[in-house]
Amino acid sequence: MIDYYTAKVLGGNARKVSIMLAETGEEHVVHYVDLDKNEQYEPWFKAINPNCKIPAIVDRDVPGGLAVGESGAILIYLAERTGRFLPTRGSGRARVMQWLFWQVGSVGPMAGQLSYFASSAPEKVPFALERYRDECARLLDVMEGGLDGNEYVAADYSIADMALYSWIKPLYEAFLRRRDPVRVADLTNVPRWLGTMAARPAVEIAMTRYEGTALRVGRDVGR
């Protein structure tokens, strides 16, 4: 059994774990961390994830319970626990890991900064907006090339796609296509991939019906 720590208002990092739980059907219990009350900084949660961030999990099937924080690490752990969505060795595994760490190290930070300066910053900073829009558009170009000839980023569906979807969808649709369409006008593989991902039942659960009520994640597929 997995204890899954998340929040009722979900961001990209929590949704990627929700997709994985839905895809694998892993039995789990959801624990909501109240970010508005700063519960993530309380000692009980800090013992689970010293970085005081959601998502986090505790695998209760491991004696004493094994806590894992950081969304990329959680995806790898669940993939290895279930034997799904991550090759065990060789070039296939290397490709998945490359795209997974690309999301964690590039897409997430850049898209997060763009979102902050576009929507939450107390004042508009044109230089920051331009800098992060340029970099996010460049990253989408990188993904466009990676998807050339591939249905998914690492050829077969994997945790890399799960990690990317909840970040690329709002980045492409809300922050670039709607607000700055010229930057993404030539993209064809990225919107095609977004449509392919959206058609997966587990992704639909995690992105829509889930919405912070994950007790049913992994049990709705096919119903």
For residue 54, the Cα-to-chain-centroid distance in whole angstroms is: 12
pLDDT in tens, 82-110: 999 999 999 999 999 999 999 999 999 99
Residue 185's pLDDT band (cuts 50, 70, 90)? confident
**Matching residue, tokens 């607000």:** 179
Nearest to 3 by CA among 86, 80, 68: 68
What is the mean predicted confidence (pLDDT) over 72-85? 98
Residues 75 and 118 in one domain: no
Residues 75 and 113 in one domain: no
98, amino acid identity: Q
Neighbours of 44 (CB within 10 A): 8
| CB neighbour list of residue 39: distance below 8 Å, 6 or more residues apart | 33, 45
Residues 166 and 142 in one domain: yes
Domain span including residue 77: 2-85+203-216
Residues 16 and 98 in one domain: no
Position 187 in a domain: yes
Q: How many domains does the chain have?
A: 2
Rounded to whole angstroms, how far apart are CA atoms 57 and 67? 6
Contact present, 59 and 33 (Cβ < 8 Å): no
pLDDT(184) > 90: no
What is the mean predicted confidence (pLDDT) over 143-169? 97
Residues 51 and 143 in one domain: no
Nearest to 17 by CA among 6, 8, 27: 6
Residues 94 and 194 in one domain: yes
Three-state SS for 31?
strand
pLDDT(216) > 70: no
pLDDT value of residue 209: 58
Q: Is the whole model's pTM more than 0.85, yes or no?
A: yes
